[in-house]
Chain A
Amino acid sequence: MSEKGAGVVIVGAGHAGGTAAALLRQYGYAGAITLIGDEPIPPYQRPPLSKAWLKGEADAASLALKPESFYAGADIDLILGVKVTKIRRSARTVSLRDGREMAYGHLILATGAHARPLPIPGADLIGVMSLRSAADAEELKAALGPGKRLAVIGGGYIGLEAAASARSLGAEAVIIEREAHILARVAKPPLSTFFADYHRARGVAIEVGAVVEAFEGDAGRVSGVRLAGDRVIPCDAVLIGIGLIRNDQLAREAGLECVNGVVVDETARTTDPHVFAIGDVTHRPITHYDRMFWLESVANALEQARHAASIIAGRTPPPHEVTWNWSDQYDLKLQIAGLPFDVDDILVRGDPASGKFAVFHLKGDVIQAVEAVNAAAEFMAGRQLIAQRKPISRARLADTTISMKEVAA
């Protein structure tokens, strides 16, 4: 324990945890900061793992949130490759797998999530992978190249980005989606139709309404995906992209309320005044939509890191932002703002066939969410209009001869 006394212990050195550590110092916090992660590398950005990393354009060093030298220089004790096994809230200590016990004055849980597995026959064949960490990305990258065929289970953003990356590396890709259309959990037609068409036009096969029963193998390596009905889709590698499971076990065992994630308030606090939770692991209020939800985005990790660090450092937390996210596939940039809650209609601005358009989700004449494809003005203006809850004229919003600045005026 440092001479400064029990300070802040951050469990999880991902995007949220790494940011919280840096912000504590930036906000003037002078106590001890210990940042503990179970991966062997310092905090890094995950979004490029399905894109630039697979294409050989990024690595752990280029994706690091801060250079490794930053932590010692900022008097942040960075402990890598070690799991925290227990939290004792009454004693205010955490136990590490290597036997160490650490006291905390404040605890920030930033344990993130892990990829949801598909526990079917053949799941442990070589070449059946998921994508969460840099180590996963390295394994997936090695499996891609000319002549290779990647089967992606799940038509969500990770799977679509990986399929696009596979194509750019000369590998074949097939997306196997259980629901009636890809992006089923997060989007509806016309957006999902647009992406399905775009992928198909670039050689990606898409199977919808397809239930995966087993992985077939040859000498211990995956060779195919067997669907219900006995059809087998041949492949050399499988990426399972069916969502994530939040790493809230430590919190649950410590008696903190969890609902598929650690429950926090709108400033990342749990009901224990000494314990915060931030990032993918949380179940949090989305005040703009007056409900509890689970956000999976860099924007959320940053916002909650700012809130926790502000409160601990004695600063006023910043105002909430409308939630936002993005996905890059081929030459498409999808930018998303808001969440499509309480929506009674959608309005498409622009022509999807042009590759530049936006889908606005409306509650009456108020924009609740926007999905913009190569349409940054629609995304930026949409964010502002969502935050302001400002009613718009649908006729003007649908008219691309009227700029978004004018629509928003």
Chain B
Amino acid sequence: MARITYIEHDGSEHVIEVKNGLSVMEGAVKNNIPGIDADCGGACACATCHVYVDEAWRDRTGTPSAMEESMLDFAENVEPNSRLSCQIKVGDEVDGLIVRMPESQH
């Protein structure tokens, strides 16, 4: 399990425990946390699960694949710490992870 903090654009915080093996996106969707749409259900086909990974966690969330980087390249309001949350796997190494959601995924 990993404790993950999801912070909405308006500052609302949601702190939940997510099972290892799920994606950060699935943690949000299964716990009804607003701000991550995940239209394609995690198939890396839509870029609507965009999150900003807190700086302290960037080197523990793995490296994006070329496909994820290409998708992010064309998403809105992309920052250096942007990731597609369906591509971040939850494991012990991200226990305590903090991610922020953009104002809108569309």
Contacts and interface: CB of A to CB of B under 8 A. Distances in A.
Interface of A: 26, 45, 47-48, 63, 65-67, 70, 298-299, 302, 318, 321, 324, 326, 328, 333, 335, 374-377, 380-381, 383-384, 405
B47 A326 contact: no
Contacts of A65: 29
Given A26-B34, A326-B45, A333-B67, A384 B74 contact: yes
A333 B44 contact: yes
Contacts of B77: none
A347 to B, nearest CB: 19
Contacts of B74: 377, 380-381, 383-384, 405
B41 A298 contact: yes
A326 B73 contact: no
Contacts of B106: 318, 321
A328 B43 contact: yes
30 contacts: A47-B40, A47-B43, A63-B41, A65-B29, A66-B30, A66-B32, A67-B30, A70-B32, A298-B40, A298-B41, A299-B39, A302-B39, A324-B46, A326-B40, A326-B45, A328-B43, A333-B43, A333-B44, A333-B45, A335-B45, A376-B44, A376-B71, A377-B70, A380-B47, A380-B73, A380-B75, A381-B74, A384-B74, A405-B73, A405-B74
A63 B39 CA distance: 13
A397 B40 CA distance: 27
Nearest to A382: B74
B40 to A, nearest CB: 6
Interface in B1-43: 29-30, 32, 34, 39-41, 43
Contacts of A48: 41
A326 B67 contact: no
Contacts of B75: 380
Given A70-B32, A318-B106, A324-B45, A298 B67 contact: no
B35 to A, nearest CB: 11
Interface string B51-74: 000000000000000010011011
A383 B76 CA distance: 13
A374 B71 contact: no
Contact of B70 (A70, A376, A383): A376
Given A377-B74, A381-B74, 5 more contacts: A67-B32, A70-B32, A328-B43, A333-B67, A376-B44
